[in-house]
Amino acid sequence: MYDIKALYEAQSVQDAVRLRLEHPQAQILAGGTDVLVQVREGRRAGAELISIYGLDELRGVTLDGEENIRIGSLTSFSHITRDPIIQKYINVLGQAVDMVGGPQIRNAGTIGGNTCNGVTSADSASTLLAWDAVVELTGAQGVRRLPIRDFYLAAGRVDIRPDEIQTALLVPKTSYEDCFGHYIKYAMRSAMDIATTGCSVNVVLTQDRSAIRRCRMAYGVAGPVPLRCPAAEAAAEGRPLTGETVETFARAALEDIRPRDSWRASKAFREHIAVEMARRCLIESVKLAGGVMA
């Protein structure tokens, strides 16, 4: 059923790094919800696998000494959704990953696997991008951290060096403090389906809650990699909470995204729903932040 050449089981992060160097063609195996399916379908026939599934040190959500949120790469989607730190500070991420597949996939699938596979449709990716997450990678030379926007290189390609494994995702305190957000996934089915388009927006309002002090937005399946929307963000920041602000913001998203035609949806349809998703996400984010639209 599974055509696997060899399976190596890492005993620690450093052991995983060693195995990566000794077996450069091997694929990292975390939750297995993507890799094992590909092996079974013959797309990775004869693969060598390095399992990191037993590394409990890569599981869980914590606050570090500077109150940055640290999410271990082996943390399952179900764990993230239920975690009290996520619920308190960045609940939208828990809501986003709760839309992945079905319960069995969410119990086994990991946040690290979801980001490392490099696909633009990953439900966690647009929210992590919109919250300025940082990717932590551990290799033979030590720990390397880079913004998640630099982690995605091209469709299906991420910036992981031959000796590295992803060990965590970090959300800085400056990114989540006083910040509220909303995520919308549009798909043909309500479960067990890949996003046709996904949109994540978050805002920080002014002290009197009458205007937008900071706004961030990212899309999935609006280009070859998850995309931030600088033009739309700039169109909203410093603007009052009015319908005109919402419309200007939503329309500006078309300057940032690069959707394409596919069997799932046409480019024109993706552009249409992208504008509507931006509109709805901003309105809901403002509501969650305690603002009232004029």
Q: Given this model, what pLDDT does residue 291 score? A: 97
Q: How far apart are CA 117 and CA 154, in angstroms?
A: 11
201-231 per-position pLDDT tens digit: 999 999 999 999 999 999 999 999 999 999 9
Query: How many angstroms separate the CA atoms of 82 and 127, rounded?
Result: 17
Mean pLDDT (whole number) for 183-200: 86
| d(C-alpha 270, C-alpha 264), whole Å | 10
- 3: burial class by Cβ within 10 Å (0-12, 13-18, 19+)? exposed
**pTM as predicted:** 0.94
**Calpha distance 189→186 (Å, rounded):** 9
pLDDT band at residue 45 under the 50/70/90 scheme: confident
Average pLDDT over residues 154-183: 97
Average pLDDT score, the chain? 94
Q: Which residue has the tokens 């619920």?
A: 87
pLDDT at 10 (0 to 100): 97
pLDDT (tens digit per residue) in 55-104: 999 999 999 999 999 999 999 999 999 999 999 999 999 999 999 888 88
Residue 49 token pair = 């696998």
Q: Give the Cα separation of 144 and 142 in Å (integer).
A: 7
Task: Inform me whether the pLDDT recorded for 273 exceeds 70.
Answer: yes
Which pLDDT score is estimated for 2? 77
CA distance 67 to 60: 15
Cβ atoms of residues 253 and 236 within 8 Å: no
pLDDT at 165: 97
180: β partners: 203
Percent of the chain with pLDDT over 70: 99
Average pLDDT over residues 237-244: 98
d(CA 70, CA 285): 23
Helix (H, G, I), strand (E, B) or coil at 168: strand
CA atoms in the 13 A half-sphere facing the CB of 112:
28
* Helix (H), strand (E) at residue 284: helix 267-288
pLDDT above 70 for 1: no
